[in-house]
Amino acid sequence: MSRKNILVCVKQDILHPISWALKEFEKQVFIKYADNTKQIDALFDTGIDFAVLIIDSIIQNNSTLGYLETLKQVKPNQKILLIISEGARKEDIVNIVKSKLVSGILVRPFTAEQISDYIYKLCGFQKPTEVPWYMKTGLKG
């Protein structure tokens, strides 16, 4: 099986919990990190096919929803896992889901296991029956 590429662009405060959750997949994925949407575009321009883009709803104090709409026009099949703050309005979340702009939404705080579950689903990996020890720590993002 070939390794899949995952692109992560999130706020610094949740970068470590997400990286920790992705440890489970280190033999199945290559992970690239970006700090902003310009870096995401530059990585896409290299021709790398990313199985999943994990992105925060706000990067550098700007909403990423407009960016994601543009991205979906260029890459309609791109799978996107959106991380949103717990203060987001329920109506906004429902509208994002209805728009089919993203493949999944995680609301802060989230667990490493929730990230892991989405990676299994979005990348099409078979989930093992036993949870790795480091997923049982309760580390939250």
The SS3 of residue 119 is helix
Residue with tokens 């290559």: 30
CA dihedral 93, 31, 36, 111 (to 10 degrees): 40
Task: Count the neighbouring beta carbons within 10 Å of the beta carbon of residue 73.
Answer: 8
44: its two tokens: 């896409």
- The whole-angstrom distance between residue 1's C-alpha and the CA centroid of its chain comes to 22
Say which CATH topology domain 4-136 has.
Rossmann fold (3.40.50)
Distance CA 110, CA 39 (A): 25
Distance CA 60, CA 2 (A): 34
pLDDT at 1: 60
Ramachandran sector of residue 124 (left: φ over 0; alpha: ψ -120 to 50; beta: rest): left
Per domain, the residue ranges of the chain are: 4-136
**What are the pLDDT tens digits along the chain (141 aa)?**
689 999 999 999 999 989 999 998 999 999 999 999 999 999 999 999 999 999 999 888 888 888 999 999 999 999 999 999 777 778 888 888 888 899 999 999 999 889 999 999 999 998 887 766 655 655 555
